[in-house]
């Protein structure tokens, strides 16, 4: 049922010769600030936080290498720096086939044959496939609930270092700090990997909101196929 908009109390009379100074005593035309906060939030999809190492986002100056960021769109990335504090709330398996960027396939059931296909294909060079552990986290500086996916060959082993910070039956989740480290292979190629560090400063969250996000996170659809419009195709 739709609600009818209510006109705010107080109506200003037209006045000629207005200046900036004369606008200081106008009646309020504002609703509660929370109305605008809620309307401006992106609620359709869970956002993600990721470590940037190479690629177009770095080449075009949207984020620096070795820094974490939240991609809002192809043109906008919220840069968080090379160190972030997070609270890890839940985890789930995840496999992604990005080989056709127009139709991205995501599978959350590790026993699904499609998950296994993606896992096996990921070992091939430039396959566009990745798998690993996906975490639901709350990031301190933004206060947002986000997905953190350790799906690459270098990041997958780091997932095990995150497990001790997660909630368990007898303990609450503990905050941790994610940093980044530059590594180099024998061929001279370099890239950044995440580094887990203990954090002693608590991160406050809305418990009711956290429970809602956890329930949605751990009950995803079995398989997702995302058809992205040409102007929104991002990797």
Domain ranges for the chain, please list them: 48-232
Task: Give the count of beta carbons closer than 10 Å to the beta carbon of residue 215.
Answer: 10
Maximum separation of any 2 CA atoms in the chain, in Å:
75
Read off the pLDDT of each residue in 12-40 and give the average, rounded to a whole number. 45
Is residue 62 helix, strand or coil?
A: coil
Average pLDDT, the chain: 82
Global pTM? 0.76
User: 223 falls in which pLDDT band (50, 70, 90)?
Assistant: low
In 3D space, the residue among 103, 84, 122 whose CA is nearest the CA of residue 201 turns out to be: 84
Q: How far apart are CA 54 and CA 195, in angstroms?
A: 17
Higher per-residue pLDDT: 13 or 197: 197
- Across 2-7, average pLDDT: 38
Q: Answer yes or no: is pLDDT of 150 > 90.
A: yes
- Give the pLDDT confidence of 113-140 residue by residue, as tens digits: 999 999 999 999 889 999 999 999 999 9
With bands split at pLDDT 50, 70 and 90, how would you rate the model's confidence at 45?
Answer: confident
Mean pLDDT of 53-78: 94
Tally: H helices and E strands in the chain: 5, 11
Q: Is the pLDDT of residue 4 over 50?
A: no
Whether the per-residue pLDDT at 112 is higher than 80: the answer is: yes
Residues sharing a CB contact under 8 Å with residue 165, sequence separation 6 or more, in sequence order: 88, 173, 174, 175, 176, 196
Model confidence band, residue 170 (pLDDT cutoffs 50, 70, 90): confident
Residues 6+ away with beta carbon under 8 Å from 167 = 89, 173
In angstroms, the CA 223 to CA 158 distance is 25
């Amino acid at each position: 049922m739709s609600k009818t908009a209510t006109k705010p109390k107080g109506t200003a009379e037209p006045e000629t010769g207005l200046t900036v100074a004369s606008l200081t005593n106008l009646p309020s035309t504002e609703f509660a600030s929370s109305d605008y906060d809620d309307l401006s939030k992106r609620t359709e999809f869970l956002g993600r936080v990721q470590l940037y190492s190479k690629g177009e986002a770095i080449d075009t100056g949207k984020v620096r290498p070795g820094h974490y960021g939240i991609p809002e769109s192809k043109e906008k990335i919220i840069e968080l720096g090379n160190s972030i504090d997070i609270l890890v709330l839940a985890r789930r398996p995840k496999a992604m086939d990005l080989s056709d960027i127009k139709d991205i396939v995501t599978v959350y059931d590790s026993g699904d044959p499609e998950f296994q296909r993606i896992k096996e294909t990921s070992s091939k060079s430039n396959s566009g496939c990745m798998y690993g552990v996906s975490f639901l986290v709350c990031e301190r500086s933004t206060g947002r609930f986000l997905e953190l996916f350790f799906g690459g060959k270098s990041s997958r082993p780091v997932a095990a270092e995150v497990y001790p910070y997660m909630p368990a039956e007898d303990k609450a989740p503990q905050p941790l700090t994610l940093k980044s480290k530059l590594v180099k292979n024998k061929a001279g190629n370099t890239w950044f990997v995440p580094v887990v560090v203990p954090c002693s400063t608590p991160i406050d969250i809305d418990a009711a909101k956290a429970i809602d996000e956890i329930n949605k996170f751990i009950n995803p659809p079995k398989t997702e196929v995302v058809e992205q419009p040409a102007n929104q195709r991002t990797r």
